[in-house]
Each structure stands twice: as C-alpha cells, then as structure tokens.
Amino acid sequence: MSEPLLPNGFEDLEPFVETWAKSDFAARYQARINSTMPQIKTFYETMMQAMERCATHLEAVAVGEMSPADRRLLYLTYAAMNVSPAVELYQQPDVWLGFEAHRLQLIDHIGTAVP
C-alpha cells in the first residue's frame, strides 16, 4: 500500500496538500499571493473548521518523530495561518499597495524549530 498523504482521519484535507503543504515560509507566502481569493477562501474556511482537530492530533506527536503525513498536516495548518490575513483583513491575497513581497527575503537564521 502506498503511503498516505495525510494521517488517518484527515482524508478530507487531501485535496489541499499539493498547493498548500509547503515546508518553508517563503513557499507558503508565495502560494498565498499566487492563488485566487476563491481558492484561498475555500482552503481557509475548511482549515479553520479542522484546526482544533489538527492541533489535537499534532500535539500528541513529538516534533522529531513526525511521519511525512504528520508533517504535511502541520504544513497545512501553517498555510492556514499564512492565508488568514488575506481573508480576515485584506480581502485580497496580498497587502494593499505594499512593497514587493519577492524583495523581502527570508535570510538564513539560527534557531528555527520548524521540523
């Protein structure tokens, strides 16, 4: 049997994995500003409904012992946080009249705990 995309019980979120389960912040932000508002809204609303369920599952797994499926689920929760201002505040994917996002670089830093 092939490895599951997401942990047992989270099959309903599988359609979001390809677009949103990105391991780094820049890729998640890029996914947000490259998506349409209908795509973002569908993802946000589904994830906000599922968030407590996801957090309860993830909380029980030590960060160092996550399976690839657990990790993808974690990245989906990150992406939900990442897109939330688009829905809750801006009504568009990016900030209003902002500095170009690609020019604000994430630089190498010490101490990221992201698995």
Site residues (vs another protein, CB under 8 A): 25, 28-29, 48, 51, 55, 58-59, 61, 63, 74, 77-78, 80-82, 84-85, 88-90, 94-99, 101, 103-114
Nearest approach, Cβ of residue 38 and another protein (Å)? 18
Dist. CA 50–CA 13, nearest whole Å: 9
Using CA of residue 79, residue 82, residue 84, residue 87, what is the dihedral sign?
A: negative
Dist. CA 52–CA 15, nearest whole Å: 19
Nearest approach, Cβ of residue 37 and another protein (Å)? 15
Q: Name the nearest CA neighbour of 61 among 2, 6, 3, 1.
A: 6
Give residue for tokens 């201002």. Answer: 85
Nearest approach, Cβ of residue 104 and another protein (Å)? 5
Nearest approach, Cβ of residue 68 and another protein (Å)? 15
